[in-house]
Amino acid sequence: MINIRFPEYLRGKYQIMQIDRILYPIYTLGPGERLVLWTVGCSIRCYKCSNPELWEKNTAKNIEIENLGNLIKQAITGKKIDGITIIGGDPLEQIEELSKLLPHLNDITDDILLFTGYKYEDIKSLEKWQQIKDYISVLIDEPYIDELNDNKCVLRGSTNQNIIYLKNGFKEKYESYLSKGRLVQNVFYKDKMISVGIHNLERKANAACVPS
């Protein structure tokens, strides 16, 4: 398991992005061996969100985007990367920063999955969305709604959320992954165990819900 840490000397003052953690390999937030980035900041704040610690912006998580891109490339050199997943927080709350990071990630893989609590219909005509949409292969949209977590929808916490294929050629790959059902992966992060994936709700089957 790779946990990419950010040395203080890489935390600059220009073109800054706030990233909480980056882990690899993750098998539970998209098909294959994936690099997963958790961004900081979310104003949607879904009830029973699994990552409420990522709601508030945190300058301690600042890193220069150019340095971030280079650090990721160095860390995964020689590794098998089947895709990259960007989650949060809500990545679109740093959409300008994301537009600068995505070209670096696209150098690694063309399978980039992005989670957002915003509705695709509300963002697809925005100028800032136009700057990043060509880099994103698959989008999962809409906020998590606890009452709509049926413990069955895969790669989504609740049934209102949608899997939207923005590029051709990815549907078969993702449908094969979806056929496996919900998956959860336990990993060590900062000397503790964390559970990554789409969990089931205890009230319905023994277990719950949004991406960790």
Domain ranges of the chain: 2-197
156 half-sphere exposure, CB direction, 13 A CA radius = 23
Per-residue pLDDT tens for 31-80?
999 999 999 999 999 988 888 999 999 999 999 999 999 999 999 999 99
User: What is the CATH architecture of 2-197?
Assistant: Alpha-Beta Barrel (3.20)
pLDDT for residue 209: 40
Q: Give the predicted TM-score (pTM) of the model.
A: 0.89
pLDDT for residue 60: 93
Question: Is residue 191 left, alpha or beta, with left meaning phi > 0 and alpha meaning psi from -120 to 50?
Answer: left
